[in-house]
Amino acid sequence: MGVDLDTRLRTVVGAGAKRLEDARGLRTVADLLNFLPRTYLDPARSTSFREIPHGEDVVVVGTVTEAVLHQMRARKGRMLVVTVSDEFGGRIKLTFFKPFGHQDRLVPGARVVCSGQVGTYKETLQLTHPDYAVLDDPTGKSSGGWLLGGLVPVYPATPRLSPIVHGDLLDLVLHALTDLPDPLPEDVRARKGLPDLLEAYTLVHRPRTEADHRRARWRLKYQEAFVIQAALARARLASDATPAVPRTPVPGGLVDALLDRLPFELTDGQRAVLQEIHDDLRRDVPMHRLLQGEVGSGKTVLALLAMLTVVDAGGQAALLAPTEVLASQHHRGITAMLGPIAEGGMLGGMDNGTRVALLTGSQSAAERRKALLAAASGEAGIVIGTHALIQDTVQLAELGLVVVDEQHRFGVEQRDALRAKAALAPHVLVMTATPIPRTVAMTVYGDMTTSTLRELPRGRQPITTHVVTGEKERWVGRAWVRVAEEVRGGGQVYVVCPRIGAEDDPDLPAGSTVGPGLPMSPRGQGAPATDTDADADADAPAIEDGTADGGDDEDVAGPGPQLHGVHQVARALRALPATRDLRLEELHGRMTGEEKDRVMRAFSAGEVDVLVSTTVIEVGVDVPDATTMVVLDADRFGISQLHQLRGRVGRGGRPGLCLLVTQGHEGDPGAVERLQQVAATTDGFELARLDLETRREGDVLGATQSGGRSGLRFLRLARDEDLIVEAHEAAWATVEADPDLATLPALRRELDRLDAERAAFLERG
């Protein structure tokens, strides 16, 4: 039986497979082949040893110039010290405390490749008990033969696995392979002049020249992009094959009634997008449209118009929000905007008006029953809730449109589940305020068509952002004075903290300026938490978007100094002379839905001046009088997240102010610079691009498509735009020509593998 990608390494390399698995988790031929070199060394042009940084894992190539056995003073036995020189006069010493077996191989004149961690001893570089291979070994040992004649591949350092053993095992595998089924269609390969799969793996692991491995890498990336695009194309074709009910706009209906009622004109951008949505809704294939636009760009109005279009045409629409706070807020906002339009059948309501039903977990059973009934009977044209609720409990008589607010908490699988609720596929409109760079849109939302709102409605107030660093204690003090001034001027203030903390967190320093000099709580120093409630705060990993897991909020924590907690900061502000007279409330994910709702309502009504909260307020919250935001430990938040957060202010008639307070962060030297970048621009697309550059792809995919694909292997979304566009075009053409991939079994198998990976990823949670 031939060896292929799924073959277990054990059957190819025998006992050595255990080392690969233990050290690196490599189990199959594909695992080993896809573990790519980090870089390559050119033995013909090795850099001087003098430039080798200490403490690094290196591979060096040189010639043995001296080999001496020393009698050790402190203990019995002898030590072998071998001097290896490079052609630039640099020297490095190899030391072996057990010379046996080495002294007859490391003889002057031998060319060697050695690897290990570089140390220094008496000012000479040295490697202690390094791995090495002797090229043209006089004793005829075959190890390391692959090092001859080409570039030397250097893999990410792997403890417990000698690079030379790794290379020898890889050699066995490469020799065992005679050909590999290639997921890339031959015509695509020919057109682009790409090596086939086996050749690509050979070139990337055993290149003779730089050009070899570049070409091979490009091809592997291209394949990854191609396979993803093919999967998206097939998903799109499949869903286009499911019919949807066309919802043709009806003149003189609720849409026109709302347009008449709105106190403003739609912007040109909004008008254009509404047209695109109407064109989609007219068709008998389901709409899959992603609507992206800055916070405040007027997406919600458009969504409402889309929903009313469907209601006019006899259908129902569901609006799914990521959190209960947002669902309630949408309900309030939409009901107010609709006025009599949403009072169908009620006194003073519009004759042919509709109803808006809200479903939340914190409703009373009676309220919930009423809402469910209104939804099921079709009396409510619009149903609003969190996706969990709507997915699990609601029956919709005539679901025609699903609007998803903030896609990054809503993955493909949830979309599928909802789609399954209606006999015919509903149209889907997804709104996101996180601007999505083109490559991410194509890779993550490639099965959707994108609309973008670029202009903000007129009258939008600018937001000014300042970075306040903790060491400038007076500045932080001034920040709180500024907060008090804002409130006196009629504004409201958000104070955002990275964690909730415990009620009994230590006080901030007396007369504190909240910011610098935060005391370390015992937990911060790694002592075990004493109460269960604190567990959530302990060592939760830093999260980039606060949205990755679909929860209401999540504490952002990590190594470093203790971070500000909501309880602690609220207490400090109640004591601080500048702020103690302000009306202050807390908001965080550990409160019940009802409590959160009460606080949000009070804040919206202007009964609260300062809201101290976690990122629970991040998405979509709209309080026009909120003018100021103070983000504490701002360095712990991602670029896009900060941009989202500050979008909460300046939504009314007054300009917004955002203060990013940071104590600096030793483990993250780029932190302050990142904050400066956020302060320097309000262009969300620019920031999204920056974000992409500073984050790993796995995070991007994880955060934008919760529960989605497990990550990318070779592609870098920040850098590979051209390649992704090319692969997109080729893959969609391929799938359109042969939707069942009957002529492309290898591509089919690769897509199945992708599905399986995704399923496994979802099972793991």
How far apart CA 373 and CA 746 sit, in angstroms, is 50
- Cβ distance to ligand ADP smaller for residue 361 or 457: 457
Among 267, 414, 451, 613, binds ligand ADP (CB under 6 A): 267
Q: Is 297 in the site for Mg ion (CB under 5 A)?
A: no
Q: How far is the CB of 334 from Mg ion (least distance, A)?
A: 11
- Of ligand ADP, Mg ion, none, which one does residue 46 interact with (CB within 5 to 8 Å by kind)? none
Q: Around Cβ 673, how many Cβ atoms within 10 Å? A: 11
- Of Mg ion, ligand ADP, none, which one does residue 97 interact with (CB within 5 to 8 Å by kind)? none
Size, binding site for ligand ADP by CB under 6 A: 15
The site map against ligand ADP for 207-246 (x = CB under 6 A) is ----------------------------------------
Q: Is 7 helix (H, G, I), strand (E, B) or coil?
A: coil
Q: Which burial class, exposed, middle or buried, applies to 115 when counting CB atoms under 10 A from its CB (0-12, 13-18, 19+)?
A: buried
Q: How far is the CB of 422 from ligand ADP (least distance, A)?
A: 25
- Cβ distance to ligand ADP smaller for residue 62 or 684: 684
User: Got the DSSP string for 347-371?
Assistant: TTS-TT--EEEEE-TTS-HHHHHHH
- Cβ distance to Mg ion smaller for residue 12 or 621: 621
Q: Is 708 in the site for ligand ADP (CB under 6 A)?
A: no
Q: Around Cβ 38, how many Cβ atoms within 10 Å? A: 10
- Cβ distance to Mg ion smaller for residue 37 or 620: 620
The site map against ligand ADP for 287-306 (x = CB under 6 A) is ------x-xxxxxxx-----
Q: How far is the CB of 703 from Mg ion (least distance, A)?
A: 19
Per the listing, tokens 């009934």 go with: 373
Q: Cα–Cα distances in Å, from 611 out to 85, 386, 566? A: 66, 23, 10
- Cβ distance to ligand ADP smaller for residue 249 or 298: 298
- Of Mg ion, ligand ADP, none, which one does residue 264 interact with (CB within 5 to 8 Å by kind)? ligand ADP
How far apart CA 639 and CA 166 sit, in angstroms, is 39
The enclosing H or E element of 93 equals: strand 91-96
Report the DSSP pairing between strands 57-71 and 78-85: antiparallel
Rg (CA), the chain: 31
Backbone φ and ψ for 729, nearest 5 degrees, come out as -65, -45
Size, binding site for Mg ion by CB under 5 A: 2
- Of Mg ion, ligand ADP, none, which one does residue 297 interact with (CB within 5 to 8 Å by kind)? ligand ADP
Of 422-451, binders to ligand ADP (CB under 6 A) are 433
- Cβ distance to Mg ion smaller for residue 300 or 734: 300
Q: Around Cβ 710, how many Cβ atoms within 10 Å? A: 15
How far apart CA 147 and CA 688 sit, in angstroms, is 42
Answer whether 361's CB lies under 8 Å from 324's CB. yes
Note the Cα 737 to chain centre separation in Å: 33
Q: How far is the CB of 464 from Mg ion (least distance, A)?
A: 22
Stretch that binds Mg ion, among 37-45, 493-501, 616-624, 662-670 (CB under 5 A): 616-624
- Of Mg ion, ligand ADP, none, which one does residue 293 interact with (CB within 5 to 8 Å by kind)? ligand ADP
Per the listing, tokens 């938490």 go with: 529
Answer whether 384's CB lies under 8 Å from 359's CB. yes
What's the CA angle centered on 569, arms 568 and 571, to 5 degrees?
65
Q: Is 434 in the site for Mg ion (CB under 5 A)?
A: no
- Cβ distance to ligand ADP smaller for residue 291 or 608: 291
Among 300, 579, 614, 640, binds Mg ion (CB under 5 A): 300
Q: How far is the CB of 430 from Mg ion (least distance, A)?
A: 12
- Cβ distance to ligand ADP smaller for residue 43 or 385: 385
- Cβ distance to Mg ion smaller for residue 220 or 649: 649
Answer whether 566's CB lies under 8 Å from 499's CB. yes
- Cβ distance to ligand ADP smaller for residue 212 or 622: 622
- Cβ distance to ligand ADP smaller for residue 482 or 646: 646
Residues whose CB is less than 8 angstroms from the CB of residue 13 and which lie 6 or more positions away in sequence, other chains included: 20, 169, 172, 173
Q: Cα–Cα distances in Å, from 381 out to 290, 313, 340, 552? A: 22, 11, 14, 27
Report the DSSP pairing between strands 78-85 and 91-96: antiparallel
Residues whose CB is less than 8 angstroms from the CB of residue 498 and which lie 6 or more positions away in sequence, other chains included: 555, 556, 557, 563, 564, 614, 632, 633, 636, 637
- Of Mg ion, ligand ADP, none, which one does residue 121 interact with (CB within 5 to 8 Å by kind)? none
Of 270-289, binders to ligand ADP (CB under 6 A) are 270
Stretch that binds ligand ADP, among 263-271, 351-359, 582-590, 655-663 (CB under 6 A): 263-271
- Cβ distance to Mg ion smaller for residue 405 or 505: 405
How far apart CA 384 and CA 390 sit, in angstroms, is 8
Q: Around Cβ 580, how many Cβ atoms within 10 Å? A: 12
Per the listing, tokens 């996706």 go with: 387
464: left (phi over 0), alpha (psi -120 to 50) or beta: beta
**Token pair for residue 353?**
């008006």
- Of ligand ADP, Mg ion, none, which one does residue 267 interact with (CB within 5 to 8 Å by kind)? ligand ADP
Q: How far is the CB of 131 from Mg ion (least distance, A)?
A: 58
In single-letter form, the type of residue at position 347 comes to L
Q: Is 620 in the site for Mg ion (CB under 5 A)?
A: yes
- Cβ distance to ligand ADP smaller for residue 439 or 641: 641
How far apart CA 358 and CA 343 sit, in angstroms, is 14
How far apart CA 750 and CA 227 sit, in angstroms, is 7
User: Helices in 242-267 by DSSP H: which ranges?
Assistant: 254-261
Q: How far is the CB of 39 from ligand ADP (least distance, A)?
A: 45
- Of ligand ADP, Mg ion, none, which one does residue 516 interact with (CB within 5 to 8 Å by kind)? none
- Cβ distance to ligand ADP smaller for residue 300 or 354: 300
- Of Mg ion, ligand ADP, none, which one does residue 266 interact with (CB within 5 to 8 Å by kind)? ligand ADP
The site map against ligand ADP for 300-339 (x = CB under 6 A) is xx--------------------------------------
Of 610-649, binders to ligand ADP (CB under 6 A) are 622
- Cβ distance to ligand ADP smaller for residue 28 or 300: 300
Q: How far is the CB of 601 from ligand ADP (least distance, A)?
A: 17
Among 246, 361, 378, 457, binds ligand ADP (CB under 6 A): 457
The enclosing H or E element of 58 equals: strand 57-71
How far apart CA 386 and CA 388 sit, in angstroms, is 5
Contacts with Mg ion by CB under 5 A lie at: 300, 620
Contacts with ligand ADP by CB under 6 A lie at: 264, 266-267, 270, 293, 295-301, 433, 457, 622
